């Protein structure tokens, strides 16, 4: 009878060792040579650059830059999470908010050159969206920006602006 207990014990130890070895094998990182060799001359893959913005957006961006470059750092196409930080006691609510806004890119960000804090965000709106109600995500983004103390300005892409008009819309016009 004592031999049955000893063989049962040895079998359990052997099984434990096998499980540990399998876990180690599955969790270890792949060898460097196991990675696929990615080269720029691969026949199946084509990589090219793409413009940051459309010509209409670039035209409006240049007006914004002319109006505000003396006061702010002018940045383009930043992710919203680069501009705001979200903290919440309810972790599930924070995750839901992060999922909603994580893919949002802000068209133009005006940051204070000394503190590097975002002061104003300019978003472009295409003409066909004028009559529509803002989407849920747009409303959430506006709420997040407002909660962070960041002013949001929406400019229409199909409208013609002057530098003076953009300066007034951004709140940079000097009172006479």
Q: Residue 64: which domain range?
A: 55-169
Whether 96 and 20 share a structural domain: no
Asked if 110 and 74 touch (Cβ cutoff 8 Å), the reply is yes
Whether 148 and 73 share a structural domain: yes
Asked if residue 38 belongs to a domain, the reply is no
* 73, β-bridge pairs: 111
User: Between the CA of residue 144 and those of 58, 81, 84, 147, 148, what are the distances in Å?
Assistant: 26, 10, 8, 5, 6
> Is the pTM higher than 0.75?
no
Whether 21 and 97 share a structural domain: no
Q: How many domains does the chain have?
A: 2
Instruction: Calculate the CA 144 to chain-centre distance.
Output: 14
- pLDDT exceeds cutoff 70 at 76: yes
Q: What share of the chain in percent tops pLDDT 70?
A: 84
Q: What is the pLDDT of residue 57?
A: 93
Whether 13 and 99 share a structural domain: no
């Amino acid at each position: 009878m004592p031999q049955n207990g000893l063989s049962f014990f040895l079998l359990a130890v052997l099984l434990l060792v096998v499980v540990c070895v399998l876990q180690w094998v599955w969790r270890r990182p792949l060898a460097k040579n196991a990675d696929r060799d990615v080269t720029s001359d691969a026949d199946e893959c084509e990589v090219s650059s793409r413009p940051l913005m459309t010509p209409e957006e670039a035209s409006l961006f240049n007006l914004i830059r002319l109006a505000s470059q003396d006061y702010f750092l002018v940045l383009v196409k930043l992710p919203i999470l680069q501009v705001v930080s979200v903290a919440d006691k309810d972790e599930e609510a924070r995750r839901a908010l992060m999922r909603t806004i994580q893919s949002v890119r802000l068209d133009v960000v005006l940051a204070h050159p000394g503190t590097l804090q975002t002061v104003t965000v300019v978003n472009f709106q295409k003409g066909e969206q004028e009559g529509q109600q803002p989407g849920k995500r747009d409303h959430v983004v506006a709420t997040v920006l407002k909660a962070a103390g960041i002013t949001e300005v929406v400019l229409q892409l199909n409208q013609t602006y002057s530098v003076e008009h953009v300066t007034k819309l951004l709140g940079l016009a000097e009172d006479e």
